[in-house]
Amino acid sequence: MSAQATQQEVTHDPAYTFAKYESEVRPLAKYPNVGANMVYPALGLVGEAGEVAEKVKKLWRNQGKMAADACTPEERRELAKEIGDVLWYIQAFAGELGMSLAQIAEMNSRKLLDRAARNVINSAGDNR
The reply to whether CATH 1.10.287.1080 applies to domain 18-101 is yes
Could you state, in order of their start, the residue ranges of all structural domains in the chain? 18-101
Contacts of 59 (CB under 8 A, 6+ apart): 65, 71, 75
Q: Residue 40 and residue 89: Cα distance in Å, rounded?
A: 9
Model confidence pLDDT, tens digit, residues 79-115: 999 999 999 999 999 999 999 999 999 999 999 999 9
- pLDDT value of position 25: 98
- pLDDT value of position 33: 98
- pLDDT value of position 21: 97
Nearest to 114 by CA among 100, 97, 101, 128: 128
What does the pLDDT average to over 5-31?
85
Helix H or strand E segment including 81: helix 73-96
